Amino acid sequence: MSLLTAQNIHVRHGAATVLHNVSFAIQKGEIVTIVGPNGSGKSTLLRTLIGALQPTSGQVVRKAGLKIGYVPQKLHVDATMPMTVRRFLDLPTRVTDAEAEAALTRTGVVGIGTRPLDGLSGGQFQRVLLARAILSSPDILMLDEATQGLDQPGSAAFYQLIEDLRDSLGCAVLMVSHELHVVMSASDRVICLNGHVCCEGTPEVVSAAPEYRQLFGTGTKGALALYRHDHDHGHDHDHPHCHHEDAH
């Protein structure tokens, strides 16, 4: 049975329907990446799958007892709240010092437990978010634009880490990304989203699909077109669905 399934879901943001009739399923151990242009509903889909948004029709089915390790796109801890890395790893469930240190070691930020969260670099912060997510021994890791703000070698290393974690934890991975050129190689399956599922399949199948070409460029060299697209549209983070943290 699939870990997590969405069946014909429709999701609205105010008056606009952001997702139309999207169906989705993810299996144990699979790495699935959702790609799509600005406003295509990538973050909305992820937030619907974690239960933060309710579909207006259709349903999301989680395997009983499913544990989700969620790595948000952005996390802003209000400056009024003192929070060390170590304390953050205890949310929502307390872990032992040994477990915390092991998780930080695994994500490559060993020894920063006593630092306040707001003193970390972007890359360290992402790795701390990831460490927190794996501490619950998740069945599925979900990452929303997890490498935003990292340079290219930094994000390549981050995706390598995700793949290693999948292998050692045996969890599924669901990622949203705009860094197509890096993500494609690390994924078992790619879903191209633009309000609905345009196309879906292995990275090779998707990058050759006409629907995909239409969205992401028509260059004969797929990878090059993707790369160029990525740089032409480097403002994905201004996309209106990306600032939910601030809205609460």
Q: Does 119 bind another protein (CB under 8 A)?
A: yes
Task: Give the number of other Cβ atoms within 10 Å of residue 220's Cβ.
Answer: 7
DSSP 61-106: EEPTT--EEEE-S-----TTS--BHHHHHTSSS---HHHHHHHHHH
Q: Does 96 bind another protein (CB under 8 A)?
A: no
Q: Does 75 bind another protein (CB under 8 A)?
A: yes
Instruction: Using CB under 8 A, pick the residue from 69, 123, 217, 222 that binds another protein.
Output: 69
Q: Does 94 bind another protein (CB under 8 A)?
A: yes
39-to-16, 35, 58, 235, 248 alpha-carbon distances in Å: 11, 11, 21, 11, 20
Q: Does 16 bind another protein (CB under 8 A)?
A: no
Q: Does 80 bind another protein (CB under 8 A)?
A: yes
Q: Does 83 bind another protein (CB under 8 A)?
A: yes
Instruction: With CA atoms as reference, report the closest residue to 116 among 149, 169, 79.
Output: 79
Measured from the CB atom, is 52 or 223 closer to another protein? 52
Cis peptide before 92 (omega within 30 of 0): yes
Q: What is the CA radius of gyration of the chain?
A: 18
Measured from the CB atom, is 231 or 248 closer to another protein? 248
Q: Beta 16-26 vs 4-13: how paired, if at all?
A: antiparallel
* Range 134-193, binding another protein (CB under 8 A): 136, 142
Q: Does 122 bind another protein (CB under 8 A)?
A: no
Measured from the CB atom, is 15 or 247 closer to another protein? 247
109-to-50, 85, 139, 156, 193 alpha-carbon distances in Å: 26, 10, 23, 17, 33
Q: Does 3 bind another protein (CB under 8 A)?
A: no
Task: Give the number of other Cβ atoms within 10 Å of residue 77's Cβ.
Answer: 14
Q: Does 68 bind another protein (CB under 8 A)?
A: yes
Q: Mark residues 44-63: x for contact with another protein by CB under 8 A, - for none.
A: ---x--xxx-----------
What is the contact surface with another protein in residues (CB under 8 A)?
Answer: 47, 50-52, 68-70, 72, 75, 77-78, 80-84, 87-88, 90-94, 116, 118-119, 136, 142, 244-245, 247-248
